Amino acid sequence: MLTRIAGGEIIDPVNGRNGIGDLWVEDAVIVDPPPGARPDRTVDATGCIVMAGAIDIHSHIGGGNVNTARLLLPEHHFAHLPRPGATPLSNLGWSTFQTGCLYARMGFTTVVEPAMPPGTALHTHLELADIPIIDKATLAVLGNDDFLLSLIRDRASSEMIEDYVAWTVASTRALGVKTINAGGAAAFKENVRIFSLDDVVPSYGVSSRSIVKTLQAAVTSLGVPHPLHVHCNNLGVPGSADTAAATMEAAEGVPLHLAHLQFYGYGREGKRRFSSAASRLAELVNSTPEITIDVGQVMFGQTVTISMDVLRQYPARKNAHPKKSFIIDGDGESAGIVPYRYRKDFYGSLQWAAGLELFLLIDDPWRVFFTTDHPNGAPFTAYPALFALLMDREARRRAAENLSKPALALTTLPAIDREYTFEEIAIMTRAAPARLLGLKDRGHLGQGAIADIAVYRKDRDIEKMFAAAAYVFKNGEMVVEDGEITALRWGKTLRIAPEPDKAMLRRMESYHQERYGLSLDWFVFPDWAIDREEPFGEVPCEA
């Protein structure tokens, strides 16, 4: 089928298009205008912005921790309604089904779940497979598991560590690797409660820094497109900017991605010894080209924090709203689920401002990524309101009028006039995420790209504009019209498949037999376990 999207304002930074024109789609891909061809369908995009489908690189949308949060807070989703005849976990309120539809309505077509414990990979993929319309991906979490820490302690060769990382990524069908407070969960098990970059994990004698550097080297050597995705130590505490700065400096010219940097944007200035250090971190990002970051913007209202950083979630229980929480001290990685309400008080105001400072003070939109760390800073449904704050300084000024003046005085936000352009939005939410993840087939509107396309009717009300797309195409199929879902389809989960040495497979079999008394078959699964036709899409590693 040949489709012409006619007369829209096409914004495609990768291919240098920024102006009125037509976009042609044949079946599932974008094509050059066929000479003399007549389209089977014409979609009128007059008065509209046309971009590639958006990509979210960091959003907690599936897996055990997400389901635990659903069970902990039934009053905040549809599960508190009269019980239907069948209630599988995937259909609880804010379900996997809703997740795909809500993302698609906003023009998002690819989303990365950034925290998958290898031991729960099958559960995670089964749930991701139930999310309709959008493509998904996951990051496998390493850095607190006994096998890796033992390899580092015993000074195993870099080749052996690379084989272990390759086996983990391949067997879990992940797109990359994440480390969460590297060594922190292992230290927590031995009653450590404060753990910084150069602190050492008891019993192993390895520092958090050495874990990060080891994983960074392995990911780079294996050619994994996405740099090591780092959740730093000391999340959310006064002075956390020092830890983030030290982690950036530890990159030493090798690519490194820092997650939800807003939660490390805090200094110790002022009477309350809590201030914004976002401008300092922005300067460091600007001067350290190997660093990319996502923000983790805070927006006001009720949410729930979901994190495998048990070292930070454990003390966060005292601030839970409502007063309930769930701590999992699991094998290897652990987790904490703590509901929280962001208020327009001193602390909430400062966190909100710190995130916006990072967005507005980091110069290069190719290296700062649009996230709320869903649902930790805010649900992803807050994205349209956040777009408005970035693109309209008057919207920021109006929002700040009702916030804590003492808090804002400890930030640089009131003095920032920058407004994001549509082109910068397209870079930050389309082109740059595709490049960071190694997804050459999306994030742009050039010939041969998959036809993931978002069309928005231009409106002075930016929030309204981005909340409900005029049209969304997924692989060439129209799935949204006037903000409503018009077609359901199943996307794929994107993965890489690095090849570990067969000796690592034998060693992993021996380890699992000795440690758990179970065959390795209990911890891995075949593709056909995911009951979808072609459930996975392959992404090549870089040479």
Total tally of structural domains belonging to the chain: 1
Maximal C-alpha separation, the chain:
72
Q: How far is CA 66 from CA 73, 168, 326, in A?
A: 11, 22, 12
Q: What is the pTM of this model?
A: 0.95
Indicate the average pLDDT of the chain. Answer: 94
The predicted model gives 448-474 an average pLDDT of 98
Q: Give the tens place of pLDDT for each residue, 179-206.
A: 999 999 999 999 999 999 999 999 999 9
Q: Is the pLDDT of residue 67 over 70?
A: yes
The predicted pLDDT at position 85 comes to 46
DSSP 430: I
The answer to the question of residue 28 being in a domain is no
Do residues 490 and 505 make contact, with C-beta atoms less than 8 angstroms apart? Answer: no
The answer to the question of residue 295 being in a domain is yes
Q: pLDDT category, 426, cuts 50, 70, 90?
A: very high
DSSP 132: B
CA atoms within 13 A on the CB side of 74: 8
Helix (H, G, I), strand (E, B) or coil at 5: strand
The predicted pLDDT at position 64 comes to 84
Residues 6+ apart with CB under 8 A from 3: 24, 25, 26, 39, 40, 41, 42, 43, 473, 476
The answer to the question of residue 181 being in a domain is yes
The predicted pLDDT at position 330 comes to 83
The predicted model gives 288-306 an average pLDDT of 96
The residues pairing with 225 across neighbouring beta strands, listed in sequence order, are none
The predicted pLDDT at position 422 comes to 98
Q: Give the tens place of pLDDT for each residue, 343-365.
A: 999 999 999 999 999 999 999 99
- Which range, of 398-402, 444-448, 522-526, averages the lowest pLDDT? 522-526
Q: How far is CA 177 from CA 103, 223, 527, in A?
A: 24, 12, 20
Q: Give the tens place of pLDDT for each residue, 236-284.
A: 999 999 999 999 999 999 999 999 999 999 999 999 999 999 999 999 9
- In terms of phi and psi (left: phi > 0; alpha: psi -120 to 50; beta: otherwise), the region of 411 is beta
Q: Which has the closest alpha carbon to 120: 173, 74, 182?
A: 173
Q: Which has the closest alpha carbon to 276: 192, 354, 360?
A: 354
Determine the structural domain holding residue 469 and report its residue range: 50-495
Helix (H, G, I), strand (E, B) or coil at 481: strand
The predicted pLDDT at position 264 comes to 98
The answer to the question of residue 21 being in a domain is no
Helix (H, G, I), strand (E, B) or coil at 275: strand
The predicted pLDDT at position 11 comes to 98
CATH code for the domain in which residue 175 is found? 3.20.20.140
Taking the C-alpha atoms of residue 326 and residue 27, their distance in angstroms, rounded to an integer, is 47
Q: Is the pLDDT of residue 542 over 90?
A: no
Q: Report H helices in 288-392.
A: 310-316, 346-361, 383-391
Q: Which has the closest alpha carbon to 494: 106, 226, 223?
A: 226
- Write out the two tokens for 308: 């495998």
The predicted pLDDT at position 441 comes to 97
The answer to the question of residue 449 being in a domain is yes
Q: Give the tens place of pLDDT for each residue, 74-101.
A: 776 554 444 444 444 444 455 788 899 9
Q: pLDDT category, 543, cuts 50, 70, 90?
A: low
Do residues 317 and 338 make contact, with C-beta atoms less than 8 angstroms apart? Answer: yes
The answer to the question of residue 157 being in a domain is yes
The answer to the question of residue 211 being in a domain is yes
- Write out the two tokens for 50: 């046309």
Taking the C-alpha atoms of residue 462 and residue 471, their distance in angstroms, rounded to an integer, is 16
The answer to the question of residue 526 being in a domain is no
The predicted pLDDT at position 77 comes to 57
The predicted pLDDT at position 93 comes to 52
